[in-house]
Amino acid sequence: MAVATPPYASDALSEGTVDAVVIGGGAAGLNGALVLARSRRSVVVIDGGSPRNAPAEAV
């Protein structure tokens, strides 16, 4: 039985045009993407995936 991968866990970009591309998935980038998404804009977040914030106690 195959397990379906959620759409947000894909490395593939969506087809078509997006309204905004956010480079970096840190606190500021994710907040910006969230604000844009709440404004009904299509957003793509590009991030390397490494936890650069690991040594921080809190954000």
5, part of any domain: no
Helix or strand run (H / E) with residue 37: helix 27-38
55, part of any domain: no
59, part of any domain: no
**Domain span at 32:** 19-49
Share above pLDDT 70 across residues of the chain, in percent, rounded to a whole number:
75
pLDDT at 4: 52
Number of compact structural domains in the chain: 1
Residue 34 CA neighbour count, 13 Å, CB half: 7
28, part of any domain: yes
Q: Tens digits of per-residue pLDDT, 1-56? A: 555 555 555 566 667 888 999 999 888 999 999 999 999 999 999 988 887 777 77
pLDDT at 11: 62
How, if at all, do strands 20-23 and 43-46 pair?
A: parallel
Helix or strand run (H / E) with residue 21: strand 20-23
Considering the entire predicted model, what is its pTM? 0.64
